[in-house]
Structure 1
Amino acid sequence: MPARVFVALMVTDSGALTAAELAQTLRVSPAAVSGAVRYLTRLHLVIREREPGSRRDIFRVRDEAWQDALANRDALLAQYSGSFAEGVSVVGRETPAGRRLTEAMEFFEFLRKELDGLMDRWRAHRDAPRPDGPPA
């Protein structure tokens, strides 16, 4: 359901819909929409705003939602890496389990470093002039 809600918001011209509009568009219950937008807001993909002059909430896709969601993964990757490091300290680096944990820890540290460079390259690509006009 979160994917359907996210796509519904992406394809609407305004990029924003109320919960009732989402439920009607997707032909689902308001409870299903509520759970989906709660999940999407936790991932920082969607934001909840108050409709001007109304008490109704509207939901919209955040600007740079993809980039922010990926960048926010750094904390999760750091948590994984730290957990594996703790495991290594418990079982020892030279044990079979320690070697597996060390490899996992190093993998997540590698991802963290690569993610920074990847985001920099994406911004440069996004902002680069295009042959058919300025960047979007």
Structure 2
Amino acid sequence: MRQDGVSAEEERFIESMGLFFERQGVPRIGGRILGLLLLADKPLALGELATLLRVSPASVSTNIRQLQASGLVDPASIPGDRRHYYVFNSAGWDHRLELAISAMEALSGLCEDALARPGLKGRHKLREAVEFCEFYREELAGAAERWRARFARKPSTQASVTPSPARSRRNATR
């Protein structure tokens, strides 16, 4: 990324990320923020994100909170600087897999609960949904294991920054 902004090539990538994530149910600006953070060589402050994306700081702030909750963006601090900085969290891919596994467990539970009710017992489509959820959860769990093994072999690509205390506490509980 250039010091004065993003190149035309980077802008195309950022916009395509916005459109991709919009199709996934994430606001387009959220996808654009992810695209920019994927390209960034250093942590970016909220104001820098807004300027580079040519959007309001309020829009960045709203979307950053959602991206943090998804695990793909981490807050960071730079010693001596009071601004809030953000980085793309490569470990967020693992978090995404875990969210998908949890979703399959929850959906399976709902269908199993329905099958336990006398009036719904034996419904073929509910049983099929449970079987699909179990299959998909197992596949995702295997993918998560393979991803962790692959990711653990790679050198860290995160910028050298101090993670926020909240993220440090959250990682310590994992």
TM-score, shorter chain, exceeding 0.5: yes
TM-score (norm 2): 0.64
Matched position secondary structure for 2:116: helix
Partner of 1:109: 134
Residues 24-67 of structure 1: CA deviation (Å, up to 9, x unaligned): 01101112111211111111111123332122111111132212
In structure 1, how many angstroms separate the alpha carbons of the residues matched to 2:70 and 2:152? 25
CA RMSD of aligned residues (A): 1.9
Distance apart, 1:108 and its partner CA: 1.2
Partner of 1:132: none
Is the contact made by 2:76 and 2:84 (CA closer than 8 Å) also made in structure 1? yes
In structure 2, how many angstroms separate the alpha carbons of the residues matched to 1:124 and 1:63? 14
**Unpaired segments of 5 or more residues in structure 2?**
1-28, 156-174
Residues 44-83 of structure 1: pairs in structure 2 closer than 5 A: 44-83=71-110
Residues 84-118 of structure 1: CA deviation (Å, up to 9, x unaligned): 11122234332xxx221221122111111111211
TM-score (norm 1): 0.80
In structure 2, how many angstroms separate the alpha carbons of the residues matched to 1:86 and 1:65? 31
Is the contact made by 1:93 and 1:99 (CA closer than 8 Å) also made in structure 2? no
Partner of 1:131: none
Partner of 1:42: 69
Give the aligned residue type for 2:69. R
Is the contact made by 2:46 and 2:86 (CA closer than 8 Å) also made in structure 1? yes
**% same residue:** 33
In structure 2, how many angstroms separate the alpha carbons of the residues matched to 1:68 and 1:114? 15
Give the aligned residue type for 1:13. D
